Structure 1
Amino acid sequence: MSTSHQPWPVADFHCDVLSKMMLNSALDFNHPELDVTHKRLQAGGVKLQTFAIYIPAGAGNPGIDHVARQIQIFREKIAGPEGGLKTLLWREEAEQIVQPDRRDIWGVLSLEGVDGLEGNPFYADLCFALGVRFIGLTWNFANWAADGVMERRNAALTNKGRELVQRCNELGLLLDVSHLSEKGFWEVMELSARPPIASHSNAAAVFPHPRNLNDEQIKALIIRNGRIGLTFVPMFLQEKSSPPMSRLLDHLEHICVLGGAEHIMFGSDFDGIKEHVIGLEHPGCYLALTELLLKHFPEGLVKKWLCGSAVSYLQENLPNQCN
């Protein structure tokens, strides 16, 4: 089936547009320096884009003001009249993402590392009130809540980190285990009331990068009915730069062998990477990825991986507006 004229709906669970815009206030949502733009989302059929709130090293000591500034950028430049995206907040809205008669593009906020919450678990309440729906406790290194995957000691959660998870459970904030240390991963899997996701990670058995998930981690996410967002970060796919798009197929096949065919989605990491998979340089390239997938997998599975699996997760796990 050709997708050249009408792209299928896509959900992408990770990009770093907001941190780029925070560091350079001259950027708008169609600036050529960005991978993810409104026009490219339209071109690629992306109906849902997750926008990570990440505090890069160049921003100074992380604080709640960095989080608030990126939420403000999302509201002013991406959502609403200027950017054109709708903000996804509630379970009741998730089913609208794939309605064929709607042309809306939705954005949802995630927090990539809780450094900016300044050690205060109740800042999670503020994030939730301002529209954040996913929280990853760490980036690659240690903070007040947990160790990241690149922290050599590989510790789990701190006491305050456990308090934060409990508060997320109470609020309905969903947890993202990409970037967590392995011990932290297992503790979150135990403590989280709802199925966690790994928004942008691949399979370590296919390529052994520390940010990729081992088979036991993948199986645990499958058992919990969580989701795994395969990512387009070149260094997670092979040692050499500029891998071909076909390298993703090995990760897809491996997760399917482990029983995860119903749990796969995508988390590109666009705007968080300096090099790209050949042919996957921006969201408009999802059409080419779709064509590749259709050469190797059934149409029904491809549609699930592009959007259906992510949307069903949201329909089951986002907080209910009526509560």
Structure 2
Amino acid sequence: SWWETGVRVVSLSHYGVSTYAHGTGTKGGLTSLGRELLENMYSIGVVLDVSHLSEESFWEALDLFPGPVIASHNNCRALVPGDRQFSDEQIRALIKRDAVIGVALDAWMLYPGWIKGKTSNTVVSMEAVVDQMEHIHRLAGNSRNVAIGSDLDGGFGKEQCPHDLDTIADLQTIPRLLKKRGYTNGDVENIMWKNWLRLFQQAWS
């Protein structure tokens, strides 16, 4: 089974329509196989990742799946419009489920009006990443539901990252930026690593 091979988190779609669900850029819900997959995931303890789901698929998945939920790499539509981002209503629904939302560092998800291949990353800094974190924090009223999602998996290079992110080590600028905005050491630890650790420990203990 997937579990025996080490699978612990599953997302149902990416761009377009998958075997299981409608994804980014499409309209529609889960397929019958997607609904069946959610049942099987819950029965063995697999975590659901709702990133990239279409809005209809998102709500249907939350309704059908009672287990732990994450959004591994997603940002806020209130700051950067588009169906790839979550509305405040979606974010509040995830907070209600005690989900963790990982903020993505892809520049087009951080800057409204970004045009791939044309917009320069000089317009995006790590402050924009913290803006996304702060929006989720404000909706939650605490630092429990936001974390680093990154999305730095090789699908693009530095040209599509914040200009002050040179290597992965520069994620360590986030604590300083958070503290500058008044976040406590506990908040910073939650966002940097504790939220992910807590959710996964609870899911698989």
Whether TM-score is above 0.5 comes out as yes
In the alignment, structure 1 residue 269 sits paired with structure 2 residue 151: yes
1:49-88 correspondence runs (5 A)? none
1:264-303 correspondence runs (5 A)? 264-270=146-152, 271-274=154-157, 275-296=160-181, 297-303=183-189
Distance 1:214 1:269 in 2: 19
Q: Name the % identity.
A: 33
Aligned-pair CA distance for 1:185: 0.5
Distance 1:136 1:281 in 2: 29
Alpha-carbon RMSD:
1.4
Larger Rg: 1
CA deviation digits over 1:118-150, x for unaligned, max 9? xxxxxxx2x221111100000111012110021
Q: What's the counterpart of residue 139 of structure 1? A: 14
In structure 1, the gaps of 5 or more residues are: 1-124
1:169-248 correspondence runs (5 A)? 169-238=42-111, 239=114, 240-242=119-121, 243-248=124-129
In the alignment, structure 1 residue 254 sits paired with structure 2 residue 135: yes
CA deviation digits over 1:36-79, x for unaligned, max 9? xxxxxxxxxxxxxxxxxxxxxxxxxxxxxxxxxxxxxxxxxxxx
What amino acid maps onto 1:182 in structure 2? E
Q: Secondary structure at the match of 2:68?
A: coil
In the alignment, structure 1 residue 129 sits paired with structure 2 residue 1: no
Aligned-pair CA distance for 1:213: 0.6
What amino acid maps onto 2:190 in structure 1? K
CA deviation digits over 1:288-318, x for unaligned, max 9? 2222222112221111100011111111112
TM-score by length of 2: 0.89
1:301-320 correspondence runs (5 A)? 301-318=187-204, 320=205
Distance 1:247 1:301 in 2: 18
Q: What's the counterpart of residue 85 of structure 1? A: none
Higher relative contact order, structure no. (Cα contacts within 8 Å, ≥ 6 residues apart): 1
Aligned-pair CA distance for 1:272: 2.6
In structure 2, the gaps of 5 or more residues are: none
1:20-99 correspondence runs (5 A)? none
Distance 2:5 2:75 in 1: 30
What amino acid maps onto 1:186 in structure 2? W
Distance 2:165 2:82 in 1: 20
Q: Secondary structure at the match of 1:304?
A: helix
Instruction: Say if 1:280 and 1:289, in contact at 8 Å, map to a contact too.
Output: no
Distance 2:199 2:77 in 1: 24
Instruction: Say if 1:142 and 1:148, in contact at 8 Å, map to a contact too.
Output: yes
Aligned-pair CA distance for 1:258: 0.9
Runs (4+) off by over 6 Å: none
Aligned-pair CA distance for 1:214: 0.5
CA deviation digits over 1:242-299, x for unaligned, max 9? 1111112221221122115210111111123332112224321122222222211222
Aligned length: 192
Aligned-pair CA distance for 1:194: 1.2
TM-score by length of 1: 0.57
Instruction: Say if 1:232 and 1:267, in contact at 8 Å, map to a contact too.
Output: yes
Distance 2:92 2:46 in 1: 23
What amino acid maps onto 2:137 in structure 1? C
What amino acid maps onto 2:4 in structure 1? A
What amino acid maps onto 1:172 in structure 2? G
Distance 2:30 2:172 in 1: 40
Instruction: Say if 2:54 and 2:83, in contact at 8 Å, map to a contact too.
Output: no
